[in-house]
């Protein structure tokens, strides 16, 4: 990293810190809470006990999957704001398949995750295809498909694909075999509740390392980045921009869909239409703060996971409405919308 | 009148009620995008207009004051987008997405501060009834006015020039950054009336998430209406008709989710070029950097 770039990065991180603490403090003062107490409760609620650390990492994992997916699309110069829909559809496919698989765990769990990835991948590939074939703006397409995804899942789960036993907008429950295994439990753990929580995070971190390798050290990753950084030059060098867009969007969607499947198999153990608390949108902040680099995105996901899990404690203990967290998240996105990595995206 | 005619009249009335917020938001979007700024933040502007109008109408007991405050709030939110999109030349889509998240959370936070309860405010003095409301008429007047402004006035020409080719506009002596800024802010004032209508005419209160993605449906209307005031208004009326139809079709067994998805699918179809040639302003979404 060059010195100039390092200064720039430091300045951007400073902006994030100022936004988080400045706006957070003002909001807490408005709620008649001392910012010192508020932030103390936030950190304590996120890291105070082993269970809370576990919950923070779960939240980090649920943000990490869509954020990694977003980073892939962004690096290819495609602004995928459809991670939310891709995640929801992935969760639906995972829940629907998972609830009716009478299989042993070593088959059921991979099947459930695969179902989520395939469904999310298809949902991501649609705007990729529309862009490659018709030049349709992927931003608007992914945005519109978010709503279509939620509506489609609601329709399927209450209509043609309704499963016995489910009364609300949800699938049947996943059998125990389709639950994500308890990572530390496999190593003989006395506290299984905390332990299973770590599996999604471990999976997401492994994925981040793989993704970094693919992006930086493979021909495909090079083509993808070239299409994003200098589309004209890439085209002249013989890179098929349409195909790259399609593949990048499919991979991006598949990763977000995998995230949805992880929420279903790791936490809820069934799909319901409210499974995402806006993870696909908050993940945009995570991806940008992580500068679209998979490993920095891991770090950013822990910070945002902390805000998510600590925010609930902050509301309960310090009586600061937890909406402060979403408010700060939105402002961080605005503040960092000028990052170079973001500004590079192809605009047509 | 026969029963069928009455039913039809009721359906058309409901169409107007459902379309009005969409028309305002879509017109705000048209003005913004014709100047070259993609306005993903329409949802945020609706939220700001709705929440602020309720808070001020509740506090003063005067819905007119609420309406004016709602417009100011919409302009302020739009000004944030306009500032970062012009002076800071950041990515408009990313900034708009952040704005939507922040506005939704900000309103939910405000509810707790003012009303000390999550979820919804109490009822506040309303601005007329949903069906008989001056804001419905004003929506159509606004469409006509925007059409005239964009096609017949020097400022409208400047706005369109900035949306097509800002550097050429600057060579002709137009301040592209200022023109874009004020186009987005004026668009924010128009769009905020959609939020005011939803809050003070339809519900008489603010409830968390009440805008329910209407800003995005309006964005779809902008595209389906080919970035023109009348086109966007027509598209908004179509989408309003679909929403009005929902109640009766649901009874007939048509899944309501399909009807709700239609505006979004229509936008996709338009984007992919299946509904004739669709062309966004050439510099739509591209920051202009002097140099």
pLDDT digits over A17-33, tens only? 888 899 999 999 998 88
* Minimum CA–CA partner of B278 in chain A: A136
Is B101's CB within 8 Å of A278's CB? yes
Q: Quick one: average pLDDT of A52-68? A: 91
Cβ-based neighbour number of residue A340 at 10 Å: 12
Q: Quick one: average pLDDT of B194-203? A: 94
* ipTM reported for the complex, 2 dp: 0.89
Residues of A in contact with B97 (CB under 8 A): 81, 281, 284, 333
> Count of A–B CB contacts within 8 Å?
151
Closest Cβ opposite residue B97 in set A81, A135, A335:
A81
pLDDT at A263 over 80: yes
Q: Is the dihedral of CA B219, B225, B226, B227 positive or negative?
A: negative
pLDDT at A188 over 70: no
Closest Cβ opposite residue A321 in set B93, B109, B264:
B109
Asked which of A125-134, A335-344, B56-65 is least confident by mean pLDDT, the reply is: A335-344
Q: Quick one: average pLDDT of A236-244? A: 90
Residue with tokens 């993903």: B40
Distance CA A36, CA B228 (A): 51
Closest Cβ opposite residue A333 in set B94, B109, B112:
B94
Q: Quick one: average pLDDT of B73-97? A: 90
What is the structure's pLDDT at A291?
A: 87
Burial of A242 (0-12, 13-18, 19+ CB in 10 A): middle
Is the Cβ of A136 closer than 8 Å to some Cβ of chain B?
A: yes
* Minimum CA–CA partner of B268 in chain A: A141
Closest Cα to residue B23, out of B233, B193, B241, B231? B233
Could you tell me the pTM of the whole model? 0.90
Q: pLDDT: is A184 or A335 the higher one?
A: A335
Q: Which of residues 178-217 of B touch A (CB under 8 A)?
A: 213, 216
Distance CA A276, CA A263 (A): 8
What is the structure's pLDDT at B137?
A: 94
Distance CA B53, CA B204 (A): 10
pLDDT at A151 over 80: yes
Distance CA B181, CA B85 (A): 8
Question: CA separation (Å) from B26 to A183, B23, B232?
Answer: 50, 5, 6
3-state secondary structure B10-28: HHHHHHHHHHHHHHHHHHH
What is the structure's pLDDT at A182?
A: 61
Is A330's CB within 8 Å of B99's CB? yes
pLDDT at A181 over 80: no
Residues of A in contact with B40 (CB under 8 A): 81, 139, 143
Is the Cβ of A83 closer than 8 Å to some Cβ of chain B?
A: no
Largest Cα separation within chain B, whole Å, is 68
Residues of B in contact with A143 (CB under 8 A): 40, 216, 219
Q: How confident is the model at residue A184 (pLDDT cuts 50, 70, 90)?
A: very low
Closest Cβ opposite residue A151 in set B112, B216, B257:
B257
Closest Cα to residue A127, out of B280, B272, B33, B39? B272
Is the Cβ of B280 closer than 8 Å to some Cβ of chain A?
A: yes
Closest Cα to residue B224, out of B283, B264, B195? B264
Report yes or no: B198 and B186 within 8 Å, Cβ to Cβ.
no
Q: What is the DSSP letter of B130?
A: S
Q: For B162-194, how does the pLDDT look when each residue is reduced to its tens digit (9 = 90+)? A: 999 999 999 999 999 999 999 999 999 999 999
Is the Cβ of A344 closer than 8 Å to some Cβ of chain B?
A: no
Shortest distance, CA A136 to any CA of chain B (angstroms):
5
Cβ-based neighbour number of residue A191 at 10 Å: 12
* Cβ partners under 8 Å of residue A86, min gap 6: A66, A69, A120, A121, A123, A124, A149, A252, A253, A256, A257, A260, A280
Is the Cβ of B271 closer than 8 Å to some Cβ of chain A?
A: yes
Q: How confident is the model at residue A345 (pLDDT cuts 50, 70, 90)?
A: very low
Distance CA A189, CA B165 (A): 64
Percent of chain A exceeding pLDDT 70 equals 90
Asked which of A326-330, B13-17, B257-261 is least confident by mean pLDDT, the reply is: B257-261
Distance CA B222, CA B31 (A): 10
Average pLDDT over all residues of chain B: 91
What is the structure's pLDDT at B230?
A: 97
**Per-residue tokens: A26:** 């003002």
Q: Which of residues 288-307 of A touch B (CB under 8 A)?
A: 288
Domains of chain A (ranges, CATH numbers):
3-343 (1.10.3470)
What is the structure's pLDDT at B179?
A: 95
pLDDT at A128 over 90: yes
Q: For A74-95, how does the pLDDT look when each residue is reduced to its tens digit (9 = 90+)? A: 999 998 999 999 999 999 999 9
């Amino acid at each position: 990293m060059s010195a100039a770039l390092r200064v720039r990065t430091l300045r951007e991180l400073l902006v994030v810190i100022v936004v988080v603490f400045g706006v957070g403090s003002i909001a807490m003062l408005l709620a008649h809470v001392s910012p010192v107490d508020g932030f103390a409760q936030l950190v304590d609620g996120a890291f105070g006990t082993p269970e809370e650390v576990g919950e923070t990492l779960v939240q980090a994992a649920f943000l990490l999957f869509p954020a990694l997916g977003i980073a892939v699309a962004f690096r290819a110069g495609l602004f995928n704001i459809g991670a939310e829909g891709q995640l929801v559809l992935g969760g639906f496919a995972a829940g629907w398949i998972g609830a009716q698989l009478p299989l042993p765990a070593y088959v059921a769990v991979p099947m459930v995750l695969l179902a989520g990835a395939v469904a999310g991948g298809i949902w991501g590939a649609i705007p990729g295809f529309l862009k490659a074939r018709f030049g349709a703006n992927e931003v608007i397409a992914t945005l519109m498909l978010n709503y279509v995804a939620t509506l489609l899942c609601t329709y399927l789960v209450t209509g043609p694909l309704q499963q016995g036993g489910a009364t609300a907008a949800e699938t049947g429950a996943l059998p125990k075999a389709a639950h994500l295994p308890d990572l530390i439990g496999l190593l003989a753990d006395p506290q299984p509740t905390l332990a299973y929580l770590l599996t999604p995070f471990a999976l997401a971190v492994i994925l981040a390392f793989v993704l970094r390798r693919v992006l930086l050290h493979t021909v495909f990753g090079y083509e993808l980045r070239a299409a994003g950084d200098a589309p004209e030059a890439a085209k002249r060098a013989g890179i098929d921009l349409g195909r790259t867009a399609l593949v990048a969007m499919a991979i991006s969607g598949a990763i977000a869909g995998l995230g949805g499947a992880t929420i279903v198999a790791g936490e809820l153990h069934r799909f319901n239409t409210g499974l995402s608390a806006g993870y696909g949108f908050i993940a945009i902040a995570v991806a940008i703060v992580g500068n679209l680099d998979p490993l920095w995105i891991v770090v950013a996901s822990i910070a945002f996971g902390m805000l998510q899990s600590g925010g609930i404690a902050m509301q309960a203990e310090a009586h600061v409405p937890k909406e402060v967290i979403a408010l700060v998240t939105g402002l961080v996105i605005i503040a960092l919308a000028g990052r170079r990595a973001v500004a590079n995206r192809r605009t047509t | 009148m026969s029963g069928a005619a009455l039913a039809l009249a009721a359906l058309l009335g409901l169409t107007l009620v459902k379309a009005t917020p969409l028309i305002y938001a879509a017109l705000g979007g048209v003005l913004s995008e014709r100047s070259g700024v993609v306005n993903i933040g329409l949802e945020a502007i609706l939220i700001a207009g709705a929440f602020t109008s309720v808070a001020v109408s509740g506090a003063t007991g005067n819905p007119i004051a609420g309406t004016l405050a709602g417009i100011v709030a919409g302009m302020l939110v739009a000004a944030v987008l306009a500032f970062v999109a012009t002076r800071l030349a950041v990515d408009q889509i990313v900034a708009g997405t952040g704005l939507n998240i922040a506005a939704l959370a900000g309103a939910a936070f405000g509810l707790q501060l003012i009303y000390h309860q999550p979820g919804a405010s109490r009822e506040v003095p309303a601005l007329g009834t949903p069906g008989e409301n001056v804001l419905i008429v004003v929506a159509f007047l606004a469409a006509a006015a925007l059409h005239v402004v964009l096609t017949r006035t020097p400022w409208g020409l400047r706005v369109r020039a900035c949306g097509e080719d800002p550097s050429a506009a600057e060579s002709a002596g137009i301040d592209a950054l200022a023109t874009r800024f004020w186009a987005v802010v004026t668009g924010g004032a128009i769009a905020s009336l959609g939020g005011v209508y939803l809050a003070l005419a339809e519900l008489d209160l603010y409830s968390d998430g009440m805008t329910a993605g209407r800003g995005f449906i309006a964005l779809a209307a902008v595209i389906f209406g080919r970035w023109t005031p009348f086109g966007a208004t027509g598209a908004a009326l179509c989408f309003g008709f679909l929403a009005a139809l929902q109640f009766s079709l649901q009874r007939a067994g048509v899944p309501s989710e399909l009807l709700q998805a239609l505006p979004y699918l229509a936008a996709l179809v338009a984007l992919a070029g299946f509904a004739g040639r669709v062309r966004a302003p050439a510099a739509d979404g591209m920051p202009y950097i002097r140099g």
